[in-house]
Amino acid sequence: MGTSGRRGRPRDEEADARILDAAGDLLLERGYDRMSVDEAATRAGVAKTTLYRRWPTKDHLIVAVVARIQDAVPVAYSGDVRADLTAYLNAITDGLNRMRQVARPATAGDMSAGLVAEVAAAAARHADVGAAVQAMFTRRNALVVTLLEQARLHGELRAETDPEVLFDQLAGALYYRLLVTGRPIDAAYVDRLVTGALDGATS
């Protein structure tokens, strides 16, 4: 198939991976405002048209970069839901803290939400970017909700537990601190969070 007889799909995936790696590196180096899509194509060694066919705007490209970062975090039930949640939330926290630095290199170390806030704003501005962001989180979060359902079936969580709400409480607290209150998130906070959500506030 195709004009050259090459297998198209693997080659496309390889180019996609190179583009997303280059875009991710540029984002971390320059920040959202100062990176250009053309530069990502050049650094990845692909034609600009290849990149634009796949991701028509910088906002679309950034969402794909964030999805790739997310997909690097494994999700599997080990039989110990507290350990699994702690590991997963620490991975999310590390990723969010890396992205927190991005887009404001001059004030690195401050509590800006950086790139994460730009992605949220891009999702709010462009309906198709919003749909892409929501699809990405729906897909990823379903994995963790499945893990929580397995833990419930296993008897680690109460039968009445609402896995979707439990996940929102955990991930939500991290993003809330990042995007809204600007409070720090770290391993000590993740421990407090998992303990609070699993143990509950009433006896």
Choice between 69 and 111, CB closer to its own copies = 111
Q: Does 203 bind its own copies (CB under 8 A)?
A: yes
Residue 178 CA, distance from chain mean position: 13
The pair phi, psi for residue 172, each rounded to 5°, is: -60, -45
Residue in 100, 106, 133, 96 with CA at minimum distance from that of residue 34: 106
Residues 6+ away with beta carbon under 8 Å from 200: none
* Binder among 34, 47, 138, 154 for its own copies (CB under 8 A): 138
Size, binding site for its own copies by CB under 8 A: 59
- Taking the chain, what is the end-to-end CA distance rounded to the nearest angstrom? 65
160 touching its own copies, by CB under 8 A: yes
Q: Which one of 11-19, 36-44, 47-55, 168-176 is the stretch in contact with its own copies (CB under 8 A)?
A: 168-176
Q: Which stretch in 8-16, 40-48, 51-59, 192-200 sits in contact with its own copies by CB under 8 A?
A: 192-200
d(CA 81, CA 157): 8
- Binding status of residue 26 toward its own copies by CB under 8 A: no
Residue from 21, 87, 104, 143 that binds its own copies (CB under 8 A)? 104
